Copies of this chain bind each other. A is one copy, B any other.
Amino acid sequence: MASHGFWFTQGGENPAGNGSQSPNTPRAWCQAAAQKFTGGIGSKLCALLNVGEAEKASQAPVKTGDESPAENCGCNKPCDCSKAPACFSDLYSTDLLPALDGDAKTMNFLQEVVDILLAYIVESFDRSTKVIDFHYPNELLQRNNWELSDEPETLDDILISCRATLKYAIKTAHPRYFNQLSTGLDMVGLAADWLTSTANTNMFTYEVAPVFVLLEYVTLKKMREIIGWQDGRGDGIFSPGKAATECEACFNSSSEHFWSCSMSVGVSDDTQGGAISNMYAMLLARYKMFPEVKEKGMSSAPRLVAFTSEHSHFSIKKGAAALGIGTESVICIKADERGKMIPSDLERRIIEAKQKGCVPFFVSATAGTTVYGAFDPLIAIADICKKHDVWMHVDGAWGGSLLMSRKHRWKLNGVERANSMTWNPHKMMAVPLQCSALLVREEGLMQSCNQMQACYLFQQDKHYDLSYDTGDKALQCGRHVDIFKLWLMWRAKPQHTNVCFWYLPPGVRSLEDKVEKMKRLHKVAPVIKARMMEYGTTMVSYQPQGDKVNFFRMVISNPAASFEDIDFLIEEIERLGQDL
């Protein structure tokens, strides 16, 4: 194991340790921290102890004075940190800005919070810490006072709540967290997100978010150029979240213990973003063909049908249900053994639908399906869409980011012929949650589809170019600022692998009866996952797919993960599952 971590030492590396990942002594820890770092960093690391102590702290305030020298670092331990003492136990939120003379108190308070966060960040990347300190819901409810009372709490209590919240949070930045598509924590993205929170505005109008609106404009244009739309023309929006996934050779290789595949880009989960983007696309496709539905509803249109691969993300059906189209009008096209949509089946079903008097209006091809991570053949699909005059959408929530890769972008060849595309930089590009874009080729359509021209908001007599007031083209009214983190990260850096596999415990391996073997194998992953969460050492996702029983699907989008971490995961699965 890498000796990356330096204060939480484990087992043999820490003879004085109690085995539960605590430092030798607080004083020694603080001294070590102070030696390692110049500036005020030592005191920040000191706050790490607070995280470790959150549980205790959340049960009983520990500012006892007796134990602490006059000048302590706020970590409730006697130490050499030079941090000014802070007394938050007498302060309330009303003492902070905009209170008169609230400046210093506000800065002290926010700095204390940042110290907690910095310590959490460093801890998150430390392999010797747990990924998760798991507790069942009822147990977690009882481990801290989470209730909302009618009395205000002191800032000290607020800080304790922050520590407790982080103590029980999943360390999504941990090198051994493989559970979701969105793993890892990018430091530039995080900085951008802190700035976004501080700017606290809305993507509604240029008036209230001039820079962010411009950055969205610049970034969407760049994304459309990358898609290949002429001069980057078109439209787009960053919308509130879903997702969708390549695992091109899944389930076919084998070793003694594992059936696995190693892919260039892989299995998505789907845990965020994109669902709304996909719904936007479906809404635009319907509006393009039957604009009267906006005013008159679906009764003014014939029966519309949409097409998507049987492996596509469930958001397509969710969208159809919400839009009044109905899930039964989403026709699932067969996928080949690698999970790619079969174009001939698409065309057959389109013709069939027409013969039944239905109107095909929307094809959603997937660039990176949810489980296998397959890329549908976009060129063949584009040909069919053109021939039958159907809107072509590409759900690239997961795989869209491959457009940024010279080596892999061929997988999306044909995307430039799509009418719209979902692309979630918060997944493969590791932008902090959430960041999901819908790109649209036709200019002006989003505006006319969604606008309601509320005169109290989009005053037409403003003194600047109103094309920058993007609010009325959104389905929701206001939008969170999701652009800055992507933009700033893009400025800072202009990578992936996946594995889908089963673990066959010795007891299962030896079974001859195939039906019984699959039945037993289906139960292996859930048990291992449950044990894994209780140990808290690593996290990976599992699920069944079609006729395939529960298997692990691993995404390595976390830049912190090393080969050793993958080995660790494999060994951990074997350790936790060998008795099954």
A148-B487, A271-B208, A297-B298 known; A162-B195 Cβ under 8 A: yes
Are the C-beta atoms of A114 and B194 separated by less than 8 Å? Answer: yes
Query: Quick one: given A190-B197, A493-B93, are A175 and B98 in contact (CB under 8 Å)?
Result: yes
Chain B residues in 8 Å Cβ range of A169: 199, 201, 209-212
Q: What's the Cα separation between A100 and B494 when bound, in Å?
A: 21
Cβ of A459 within 8 Å of any chain B Cβ, yes or no, is yes
Q: Does chain B have a CB within 8 A of A146?
A: yes
A180 in complex: contacting residue of B98, B182, B208, B530, CB < 8 Å:
B208
Decide: B121 and A110 in contact? CB cutoff 8 A.
yes
List residues of chain B with CB within 8 A of the CB of A199. Answer: 165-166, 169-170, 172
Given A200-B185, A477-B270, A152–B324 Cβ distance below 8 Å? Answer: no
Cβ contacts A316-338/B at 8 Å (1 or 0 each): 01101111111111000000000
- Given A39-B84, A92-B492, A194-B113, A326:B296 Cβ within 8 A: yes
Interface residues of A in 522-537 (CB under 8 A from B): 523, 526, 529-530, 533
The chain B residue sitting closest to A543, CB to CB, is B456
Instruction: State which of B107, B113, B294 has its C-beta within 8 Å of the C-beta of A326.
Output: B294
Q: How far is the CB of A426 from chain B (nearest CB, A)?
A: 9
Give Cα distance in the complex from A375 to B187, angstroms: 46
In the assembled complex, which residues on chain B have CB atoms less than 8 Å from the CB atom of A477? 241-243, 270-275, 313-315, 318
A149 within 8 A of B: yes
A70 interfacial by beta-carbon distance below 8 Å: no
Among A161, A185, A370: residue with most chain B CB under 10 A = A161
Which stretch (A9-17, A133-141, A512-520) binds chain B? A133-141
Known: A202-B180, A433-B200. Is A37-B158 also a contact (CB below 8 A)?
A: no
Binds B, one of A383-391, A438-446, A447-455: A447-455
Q: Which residues on the B side are within 8 Å of A209 (C-beta)? A: 169-170
A407 an interface residue at 8 Å Cβ cutoff? no
Task: Verify A293–B326 contact, CB threshold 8 A.
Answer: yes
Work out how many copies of this chain go into the complex: 2
Taking a contact as CB atoms closer than 8 A, the residue among B188, B201, B213 that contacts A433 in the complex is: B201
Segment 518-575 of A: residues with Cβ below 8 Å from B:
523, 526, 529-530, 533, 541-545, 550, 553, 558-560
Contact call B475/A432, Cβ cutoff below 8 A = no
Query: Using Cβ atoms and an 8 Å threshold, which residues of chain B touch A45?
Result: 107
CB-based contact A544/B298 at 8 Å: no
Write the A105-120 contact mask toward B (1 if CB under 8 angstroms, else 0). 0111111011011101
A4 and B298 contact, CB distance less than 8 A: no
Q: Are B122 and A111 in contact (CB under 8 A)?
A: no
Query: What residues of B have a CB within 8 angstroms of the CB of A155 in the complex?
Result: 492
User: Which residues from chain B contact A202 at a C-beta distance below 8 Å?
Assistant: 180, 182, 271-272, 433-434
Question: Is the CB of A264 closer than 8 A to any CB of chain B?
Answer: no
Give the residue name and chain of the B residue nearest to A165 (CB): B211
Question: Roughly how many angstroms separate A243 CA and B457 CA in the complex, as a whole number?
Answer: 12
Docked complex: A76-122 residues within 8 A CB-CB of B:
83-84, 92-94, 96-98, 100, 102-104, 106-111, 113-114, 116-118, 120-122
Interface pair A314/B452, CB less than 8 Å apart: yes
**Residue A22 at the chain B interface, CB threshold 8 Å:** no
Instruction: Tell me, rounded to whole Å, the shortest Cβ–Cβ distance linking A226 to chain B.
Output: 10
B108 with A39: CB separation less than 8 A: yes
Q: Which of the residues B40, B151, B214, B489 comes within 8 Å of A40, measured between beta carbons?
A: B40
Give A29-63 interface residues, CB cut-off 8 Å to B: 36-41, 44-45
- For the complex, what is the distance from the CA of A83 to the CA of B82, rounded to whole Å? 13
Q: Which residues of chain B are near A241, meaning CB under 8 Å?
A: 240, 476-480
* Closest Cβ neighbor of A467 among chain B residues: B137
Q: How far is the CA of A459 from the CA of B361 in the complex (A)?
A: 33
B328 to A295, Cβ gap below 8 A? yes
A371 at the interface (CB under 8 A from B): yes
Which B residues lie within 8 Å of A190 (CB)?
110, 197-198, 200
Nearest B-chain residue to A542, judged by Cβ:
B459
CA distance A481 to B205 in the complex (A): 24
Residue A356 lies at the interface, judged by CB distance under 8 Å to chain B: no
Interchain CB contact under 8 A, A533 and B463: yes
A64 touches B (CB below 8 Å): no
Contacts of A545 on B, CB cut-off 8 Å? 455-456
| CA gap between A152 and B304 in the complex, in Å | 46
A283 CB–B CB distance under 8 Å:
yes
Q: Is A496 an interface residue (CB 8 A)?
A: no
Chain B's closest residue to A183 (CB) is B200
Contacts beyond the supplied A165-B199, A240-B480: 16 A-B pairs with Cβ under 8 Å: A39-B83, A116-B195, A137-B206, A146-B218, A152-B492, A162-B192, A169-B211, A173-B200, A180-B202, A201-B433, A205-B271, A241-B477, A273-B477, A317-B452, A323-B323, A324-B324
Closest 6 CB pairs of A and B: A324-B324, A272-B478, A297-B326, A98-B560, A39-B84, A242-B477
User: What are 16 of the A-B contact pairs (CB < 8 Å)?
Assistant: A39-B108, A92-B492, A97-B125, A111-B118, A121-B198, A140-B210, A148-B490, A162-B195, A179-B207, A180-B208, A204-B271, A294-B327, A295-B321, A296-B326, A299-B326, A318-B477
